[in-house]
């Protein structure tokens, strides 16, 4: 299972409690875990996904709360589109997506040196 680390603001918006969050265990296979943050652009809720290993990122604009609560589905729907725009082949996209069949949520991860991001 791969994890999406959620900021406290996003956890609150999703209605996640401590019991809903998995313990973060880094997985170095493939792209590995991501971090997601709720941000506002022109007073609209947006989700920023950032890969913890590569810092590759993408923004999902104007997201209603119902979709935010299904963050794993949103991630799996947007990731292949973003990768295709970056000229990844269908085979590469399929391989990457196979890594995210099961997604859990964790607290926002911290870099190895312990500094806050």
45 is a domain residue: yes
Q: Please say if the pLDDT value at position 38 is more than 80.
A: yes
Share of the chain above pLDDT 90, in %: 74
β-strand partners of 106 = 5
Q: How far apart are CA 91 and CA 20, in angstroms?
A: 33
Q: What confidence category does residue 117 fall into, taking pLDDT thresholds of 50, 70 and 90?
A: very low
Q: Please say if the pLDDT value at position 73 is more than 60.
A: yes
Number of domains in the chain: 1
Is beta strand 44-51 parallel, antiparallel or unpaired with respect to 34-41? antiparallel
Q: What is the pLDDT of residues 1-36, one digit of tens each?
A: 889 999 999 999 999 998 889 887 766 678 889 999
Decide if 46 contacts 36 (C-beta within 8 A). no
114 is a domain residue: no
Task: Give residue 90's pLDDT.
Answer: 97
117 is a domain residue: no
Q: How far apart are CA 25 and CA 35, in angstroms?
A: 13
pTM, two decimal places: 0.86
**Residue range of the domain that includes 30:** 2-107
- DSSP H stretches of helix in the chain: 8-14, 65-68, 71-85, 90-98
Q: Please say if the pLDDT value at position 114 is more than 60.
A: no
26 is a domain residue: yes
């Amino acid at each position: 299972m791969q994890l999406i680390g959620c900021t406290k603001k996003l956890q609150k918006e999703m209605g996640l409690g401590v019991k809903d969050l998995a313990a973060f265990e880094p997985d170095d296979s493939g792209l590995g875990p991501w971090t997601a943050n709720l941000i506002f652009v022109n007073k609209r809720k947006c989700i920023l996904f950032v890969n913890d290993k590569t810092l590759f990122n993408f923004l999902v604009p104007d997201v209603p709360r119902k979709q935010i609560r299904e963050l794993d589905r949103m991630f799996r729907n947007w990731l292949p589109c973003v990768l295709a725009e970056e000229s990844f082949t269908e085979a590469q996209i399929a391989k990457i997506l196979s890594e995210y069949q099961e997604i859990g949520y964790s607290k926002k991860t911290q870099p190895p040196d312990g500094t806050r991001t």
